[in-house]
Amino acid sequence: MRTDVSLSVRESSLSSRYRQVRDLSVALVRPLSDADATVQSMDDASPAKWHLAHTSWFFETFVLRDFVAGYRLHDDRFPFLFNSYYEAEGQRHARPRRGMLTRPTLDEVLAYRAAVDAALLTALPDLPASAQALVELGCHHEEQHQELLLTDILHLFAQNSLQAAIWPGDPKVPVAMPGPIQWIEGATGPVEIGATADGFAFDCEGPLHATLLHPHALADRTVTNGEWAAFIADGGYADPRHWLSDGWAWVKAEGVAAPLYWERQAGVWTRFGLDGRRPLDPAAPVTHVSFFEADAYASWAGARLPTEAEWEAAASSHDPRAGNLLDAAGPIEPRPAAGGPAFFGDVWEWTGSAYRPYPGFRAAEGAVGEYNGKFMSGQFVLRGGSCATPRGHVRASYRNFFYPHQRWQFTGVRLARDL
């Protein structure tokens, strides 16, 4: 019998956190039909039930299979279906064809989750510290998939001409347009960025290291829908002077003329969200814009995107649990909200920094070493979290990353300029 009180408290805390994370994922899909949860709207997105199953596969594979003696897989066909990109775990179902998996059904996936949960919670008190660390990693991994789950559902429902709502939304009193952007002078000289030894962090957030900041200032808030509409009205999407070469080629090839989900109806801009199609709120932060669009807007505005070091140095004095972040599933749908300035929540903020390793970065041994490091090519860093990011998931050192053309996530813009 264990007598280590601190260890038992940690197990209890980890058990509670595990239950909370797993319950939220199930709550997020509660409004969906089996068909809603099965369809894949594009190669970059995944069906809702795949997200539910993959996060369960993560716990089953890296914890139950590897650390619980005598554990038998719930279904020995599932690893092929629900492995995402772990080469060390063998062959897998092709990502662009996840929407072809009509079986297992949503109910069968939920039963799989329940079986994994029961086995893991039973095993948790006797797991070694290394396995408990993997449970903690798995919880953070699932929170990433909760955000992906919401953005993938949004993209799926946007393809349907019914423009159906998942949640009814919240008819809020209109918020007055914010005043002009105010510029906050940033730190200058050597600063340290990256994760410290305190608390959880993904491997790509470290090591802590010094970098040099030159005189600069950051905007006190993100760019609004109203300001972006002015960019459109001024011909921003038709003027190659503001665009990177790859961005201009993307605009022309894809016919891009506004942020994703924007549509002009009877001369008025509307947007589609998890609450259906609504009139655009000009005071709310602009979202669903690509790196290419963010960079072009910054050029048009006579500014630039911040570096991730500039952003982190400025955000480190702010509370990462503050702001418009995800707390629960419905009845109010997550969306960027008009309001006061915050470094966390509402929209992920594009930086001008390439997603590359920090000095001294080393990927972990084994399959979990494939988690982040192998993707450090051709992508750009975003910071701060969004309205679909679970509260408590992000921190100042958190590095999100996407390819420059991608915009189905809740991505927005904070400007910077040199001084």
Percentage of the chain beyond pLDDT 70 is: 94
Best mean pLDDT range from 341-345, 364-368, 369-373, 394-398: 394-398
Task: pLDDT band for 18, please (50, 70, 90 cuts).
Answer: very high
Q: How far apart are CA 417 and CA 419, in angstroms?
A: 7
pLDDT for residue 364: 81
Cβ 294 vs Cβ 409: under 8 Å: no
**156-179 residue pLDDT tens:** 999 999 999 998 876 665 677 888
Closest CA to 349 of 319, 404, 311: 311
E strands along 48-198, which residues?
183-185, 189-193
pLDDT for residue 173: 55
**β pairing state of 411-412 and 348-354:** parallel
Cβ 90 vs Cβ 83: under 8 Å: yes
Residue 295 has pLDDT above 70, yes or no: yes
Residue 242 has pLDDT above 80, yes or no: yes
Element (H, E) at 107: helix 106-123
**185-196 residue pLDDT tens:** 999 999 999 998
Phi, psi of 418, deg, nearest 5 = -80, 150
Residue 197 has pLDDT above 60, yes or no: yes
pLDDT for residue 9: 54
C-alpha distance from residue 379 to each of 170, 195, 389, 400 (Å): 35, 20, 20, 10
Q: Return the amino acid letter for 24.
A: L
Q: How far apart are CA 50 and CA 39, in angstroms?
A: 10
More confident residue, 364 or 78: 78
Q: What is the mean pLDDT of residues 231-248?
A: 98
pLDDT for residue 3: 42
- The whole-chain average pLDDT of the chain stands at 93
E strands along 222-331, which residues?
262-265, 268-273, 276-279
Residue 123 has pLDDT above 50, yes or no: yes
Q: What is the mean pLDDT of residues 50-73?
A: 98
**48-57 residue pLDDT tens:** 999 999 999 9
Q: At a CB cut-off of 8 Å and minimum separation 6, what does 79 contact? A: 57, 61, 73, 89, 90, 92
Task: Give residue 243's Cα distance to chain centre.
Answer: 25
**243-293 residue pLDDT tens:** 999 999 999 999 999 999 999 999 999 999 999 999 999 999 999 999 999
Structure tokens at 63: 């914890």
**312-354 residue pLDDT tens:** 999 999 999 999 999 998 776 788 887 666 799 999 999 999 9
Rg (CA), the chain: 22
Cβ 401 vs Cβ 353: under 8 Å: no
pLDDT for residue 2: 42
The domains of the chain, with CATH numbers, are: 5-158 (1.20.120), 183-418 (3.90.1580.10)
pTM for the model stands at 0.95
Q: Return the amino acid letter for 153.
A: I
Count of CB atoms within 10 A of residue 45's CB?
Answer: 23
pLDDT for residue 334: 81
Residue with the two structure tokens 């952003």? 311
Task: pLDDT band for 368, please (50, 70, 90 cuts).
Answer: confident
pLDDT for residue 341: 66
C-alpha distance from residue 173 to each of 231, 281, 310, 347 (Å): 26, 11, 34, 21
Residue with the two structure tokens 């019914």? 162
Residue with the two structure tokens 């039909």? 33
pLDDT for residue 1: 37
More confident residue, 153 or 364: 153
Q: How far apart are CA 378 and CA 325, in angstroms?
A: 28
